[in-house]
Amino acid sequence: MTSSRVSRPVLVAGSLNMDLVARCEHLPREGQTVFGRDFFTAPGGKGANQAVAAARLGARVAMAGCVGRDRFGTALVDGLAADAIDTRFVGTSDQPTGTALVTIDAAGANTIVVIPGANQACGAAAIDAAFQALSGPGVLLLQHEIPDDANRHALTAARTAGWFTVLNPAPARAVPPDLLPLVDILAPNETEAATLTGCPAGGRDAALRAARALLAAGARAVLVTLGAEGALYLDPSRALHCPSVVVPAVDSTGAGDAFLGALGAALAEDQALEAALGFAAAAAALAVTRLGAQPAMGTRDELAAFIAQHGMPVAKPWAEAAGKALNNIA
């Protein structure tokens, strides 16, 4: 299934990591050693994951970032190019390529340790070159695995050039108040939303409280992904809940990136927000049925087949979806 829509460009400024993945029956507790079932390497990094997710769904994607002058770096860039992603804006650094140590249990839950490496060298020059070369305005996807100064520069430049911006504040750290108005959609998961606001995590009601706090702090719109409970979207005029697709989880690594990459692709096609959220939820569900981050990202045809089998979620007004009045959640 190919899109009949004309797609605006998607620029991802973010991380490129090589994931070192161990699968085991149970995640180890502090001080505990467990036996693993197997080990593999896979291309990852939140930025590159989102770029691959969008590209496989038909978006015109460019990647701005940095890798080391090593075999991991070469493999990561070659992998992006194989998915028709523009890699002209991926630079090299004397630091080693970023890596992530991933442990996955039998239920698909994971723990991740990220070593940023060359990602710390991602800066304004690559981002400016991308904006100048691409036929924008389009959709800009950002995360927290590159330096804060790079994200600040990207958001400022994007606002000037009329790009739509999505910031995934992961790993969770504060977003400076003066940057929030430059973010069209702030997209944390529920744990990150709780960390950013100090609100307790746990379920849609807690997510709504956190989203309201972020909106009050200056965000234009907030999208909180809730795993199996779907996603909550809030802006000054509406609140929407999009359910998830229930599937047996093999590996949840990269599910949030699959969601946001698909959202970026849908927004670049000018899909209505409700449709874009359902499209993204289906893409994330497909990803959790497979191992790895980038290897799990589906193509447009694969997603079409998945939707034909499982259906595509429909985003509804929050009060209707929750069966309660929105104002009841203080």
Tell me, letter by letter, the H, E, C secondary structure of 274-290. Answer: HHHHHHHHHHHHHHHCC
Task: Give the closest residue to 19 by CA, choosing from 110, 85, 90.
Answer: 110
Tokens of 147: 């330096």
- The amino acid present at 295, given as its one-letter code, is P
Q: Tell me the backbone φ, ψ of residue 114, rounded to 5 degrees.
A: -105, 130
Helix-helix angle 273-288:300-310, to 10 degrees: 90
> Prior bond to 9 cis, omega within 30?
no
> Strands across the sheet with 17-24, in order?
36-44, 17-24, 98-104, 110-115
Tokens of 18: 């090589």
CA 102, CA 21: separation in Å to the nearest integer?
Answer: 5
Rounded Cα–Cα distance for residues 27 and 68 (Å): 30
Q: For residue 189, list its beta bridge partners.
A: 225
- How crowded is residue 132: how many other Cβ atoms within 10 Å of its Cβ? 11
Kindly list the distances between the CA atom of residue 99 and the CA atoms of 15, 41, 46, 114, in Å, as whole numbers in the listed order. Answer: 10, 10, 11, 6
Q: One of 70, 235, 257, 270 is an active-site residue; which one?
A: 257
Q: Is 94 a catalytic residue?
A: no
How many CB atoms sit inside 10 A of residue 209's CB? 17
Which residues participate in catalysis according to the annotation?
257
